[in-house]
Structure 1
């Protein structure tokens, strides 16, 4: 009976080994991953999996994994303020010898860099960059350039001589600061003067109260540009309550933001390509694992969404999520 049990365990071990490596005859190439036909494994840690925006990134990750025939472990903390949870996920992936490369969207870039330490695994950043000396690539939006096109679009609609306000996320946050610089540059290039700059932590309700104060202090204001679609919606709510018609632009291009454009609640939004970010991050990770050249910055682009193209773009977003 003992011999039978040992034989059974041995057979199971061989099966599990074959499943885990993709082949039982492949030798390691010494780079942390195995050569030949062994399945490539990429770890992806996003800022969260519990929001519409990050669901697009996740969908792109999964599509790339299927198309490229690689294994992906996709994780994300409960919220975008669960810093320790994200760091713990990253630590676990770093300790996994089977993980060939890691893609991360850092909640706190400096903290994530500390966790990464001196790892030799290929590290790529998606959506948000980080100052990691040995990173392979950053895959995401050129925020300043994208916001500049949004500012130019808003200025064209409002006309030269208009007055505008900027409502940012968190002052000092790299992404928010880049969008601020871009929007303001675009507005000023179109002859629009920015007369107010406030910050609302990315929240619709706080943007609404901030907008109320801005409108009171600036009776000639006709334009407002914001760091995301949620704040654009909040600003629009306050403007409507005050009986003011404004040119309002958001940023991100999520379904709710695009629907607001369709409904006429806001004027437009600068749409990122989160699906493309997810897809291209896995694509770049696989290239790095294979020793191929990867660009240090992969710009996934942006698109201005107005009433003219909002319906078509909304259909695209729904298709990406399989709706």
Structure 2
């Protein structure tokens, strides 16, 4: 009698442990590899993903690639070993990320790209603003401000990223045959490089009426160079609408910025992952609206 009771107790205990285990360990994991946390835009993007994952009850693991493609691949491999159910990735470079995407493909882990796309491998969905449309918005704005005439410097982002390519494409399409781009040079989406490159270009091309920077960090660097050169009449347009850039627009050191919504990109990424986990249909491209912010 006592033996049966003990057996029943042990059996129920094991069942309880198994039940508890399924509750604890069956919580789906979403991996998120982000290009960098040195840029406020990507910090906001991560924050949007974190908030949405908490709201939906997912275990989100975020790893920072520090703008290094080799670290990006290492991060992806780490997450695959940890058994993530979906991989979100904000690529350091659209070509370099192909190896990471293919690693996830081999592991049969669905991939969703955020903000920047991948030029190869199988990606289930891409969440981003329409960078071509944003570039056009910047070009049309400067065209109207300059009455269709003037010399422009274009600061390009990291070569090979879809963001740099698409923003440049849209901008150049908008001003083609009208405004004159006297120089376009990469400053790698970096504020200090934006400052240094602009200083050099202003010396080489003193007759410039406007600067288009493919992100706000470069635009903020350019504004310092413009101020140091005493050319405060030069129009400066950035892209991303980070907090620092919006402040600069308000105080007049920048003219405008194209507003993405990085938090929305992050939260949409989690929503897409949620649908994938639930085996629901997802769109291959999820656009996030943008607008221009001026003083």
TM-score grouping bracket, smaller chain normalisation: 0.7 to 0.9
Match of 2:85 in 1: 100
Within 1, Cα distance between the matches of 2:29 and 2:101?
A: 21
Find 1:294's aligned residue among 279, 282, 293.
Answer: 282
Match of 2:202 in 1: 215
Report if the CA contact (8 A) 1:49-1:76 is conserved: no
Match of 1:87 in 2: 73
Report if the CA contact (8 A) 1:251-1:269 is conserved: yes
Provide the aligned C-alpha RMSD in A. Answer: 2.7
Report if the CA contact (8 A) 2:136-2:171 is conserved: yes
Within 2, Cα distance between the matches of 1:59 and 1:179?
A: 24
TM-score (normalizing by structure 2): 0.85
Residue 59 (structure 2) pairs with residue 72 (structure 1): yes
| Range with bigger deviation, 159-168 or 213-222 | 213-222
Match of 2:24 in 1: 20
Within 1, Cα distance between the matches of 2:213 and 2:242?
A: 14
Q: How does 1:9-158 map to 2 (within 5 A)?
A: 13-14=17-18, 16-21=20-25, 39-67=27-55, 69-77=56-64, 79-81=66-68, 83-97=69-83, 99-107=84-92, 108-158=96-146
TM-score (normalizing by structure 1): 0.78
Find 1:194's aligned residue among 158, 165, 181.
Answer: 181
Q: How far 1:16 sits from its partner (Å)?
A: 4.6
- Deviations along 1:41-62, one digit per CA (max 9) or x if unpaired, are 3222222345422221122112
- Aligned partner of residue 76 in structure 1, secondary structure: strand
Within 2, Cα distance between the matches of 1:205 and 1:106?
A: 21
Report if the CA contact (8 A) 2:155-2:211 is conserved: yes
Report if the CA contact (8 A) 2:34-2:91 is conserved: yes
Find 1:232's aligned residue among 219, 223, 236.
Answer: 219
Q: Which runs of 5+ in 1 are unaligned?
A: 22-37, 308-323
- Deviations along 1:137-189, one digit per CA (max 9) or x if unpaired, are 01112212211111111221222112211111233443212221222222337
Match of 1:28 in 2: none
